[in-house]
Amino acid sequence: MKAFFFEHYGKHSPLRFGDRPEPAMGDNDVLIDVHAASLNQLDAKIKSGAFKMIFPHAMPLILGQDMAGVVLKTGARVTQFQPGDAVYGCLPPSRMGTFAERVVADARYLARKPQNLSMEEAASLPLVALTAWQAFNAIAKVQPGQRVFIQAGSGGVGTVAIQLAKHLGASVATTAGAASSEKLMRLGADAVFDYRKDDFSATLKDYDVALMSQDAASLAQSLSILKRGGTAISISGPPDPAFARQAGLNPFLQFIMWARSYRVRAGARRAGLEYTFLFMQPQGDQLRQLTALIESGAIHPVIDKVFPFDQTAEAMAYLETGRAKGKVVVKIR
């Protein structure tokens, strides 16, 4: 099968196009004919080697976690899908490989594709939608009337997080470039701050939840707007000891995570806040709940650009510029 892969870690390691072996299936797996896949910042970080100690891989490695496609074959223990079903989902870093004509996925990670979306639209959603879902439902348990702050509202996670927070009844403030302000207001944002010139921390106070995806300075600003008892969730780090334990890291790496996150965790405790590092876990049951929201119109995809499959390397380069407003997708079929 044709696929895009890289042969060694590094920010400038090229994505190569070529033939790779067909993926092997297990009894709980589904073989999928991939019609579309989307790119995430996590793909770029994995290629750079940022996670090589946490998720070690043999080379060459096919990138990609998000996809939508059609079931070709099911394992002996799979009962919820059958050949011909249109599905979508997100694969974990340990079993990724959606930048390919076919991929094998554990059936637990999949859901039927929303009927009102194209393959490209469906492929754009799993990782970012599950990230928002786990942040606002599993961790923060956002309630109607609460106030939620979302960094980088025009990004892949941000565009979905705004819609989900609004659906849950929260008022939403976010940051973005001035050109994105009107679009984010249409998605549900109540206040949009220009990250180039506005200091949101001078205006916002007593927020209940902050979803953070930027650098350490922005993280500190976000913590300062939360009220006592508030919840700070970061998807950009630093990873905390709970993540290290969940990932099954060895004691040395657990200590490294403890040390790197100590300052932010200690600062959060002093302020009476709960700090959590969120590394999204693929969950088909959660994706099915999101499908209901998508089909009802409460959440819809925001796509910046669709590339043909043979331009996947160019799509990755575009993603790495940080200028995408919404998701970057590759169309495979």
Domain segments of the chain as ranges: 2-125+301-331, 127-277
Integer Rg of the chain from CA: 19
What is the band of 227 on the pLDDT scale with cuts at 50, 70, 90? very high
What CATH number does the domain located at 2-125+301-331 have?
Answer: 3.90.180.10
- Residue spans of beta strands (DSSP E) within the chain: 2-6, 16-19, 29-39, 61-62, 66-74, 86-90, 102-106, 110-112, 147-150, 171-176, 191-194, 207-212, 226-234, 274-277, 303-308, 327-331
The pLDDT tens digits for 157-184 are: 999 999 999 999 999 999 999 999 999 9
Question: What top-level class would CATH report for the domain 127-277?
Answer: alpha beta
Q: What is the pLDDT of residues 243-257, one digit of tens each?
A: 888 888 889 889 989
Q: Which residues pair with 231 in a beta bridge?
A: 209, 274
What pLDDT sits at residue 240? 87
Q: Can you give the pLDDT at residue 323?
A: 86
Total-model pTM? 0.96
pLDDT band, residue 65 (cuts 50/70/90): very high
What is the chain's mean pLDDT, rounded?
Answer: 95
Identify the pLDDT of residue 185. Answer: 97
